[in-house]
Amino acid sequence: MTRDNTAVIRGFVCAGVYDQGDRCSATAAAVRRTPLISFREALPMTPFRRNKLYRMAKNGEIPGARKLGGTWQFHRETLLAWLDCRAP
């Protein structure tokens, strides 16, 4: 863990806690052990259209979203946990 509460895990820099207000800060542990999925794999899992998902990832609204090598990648379990928290 570094001073700014980030850790380098398997070559990826992960925040210690994805605390964006009241949103699912408990998913940080899942980030450390889950594989990444591509934008195309994440899209059907969400209720959002392509442009909305891209905009949300770009604005940092989705925990576990990272742009690696010019493409968006998502931590699968973090994305699913975040979507569960958003469900009514």
Kindly state the DSSP code that residue 76 receives in the 8-state scheme: H
- Give the C-alpha separation, 15 to 32, whole Å: 10
Tokens read off for 23 = 């949103």
Kindly state the DSSP code that residue 22 receives in the 8-state scheme: T
Q: Which residue, among 25, 27, 18, 57, has the nearest Cα to 40 in the 3D structure? A: 57
Residue-wise pLDDT tens for the chain (88 aa)? 444 444 443 344 444 444 444 445 555 555 555 589 999 999 999 999 999 999 999 999 999 999 999 999 999 999 999 999 887 6
pLDDT digits (tens, 9 = 90+) for 21-32: 444 555 555 555
Q: What is the pLDDT of residue 35?
A: 87
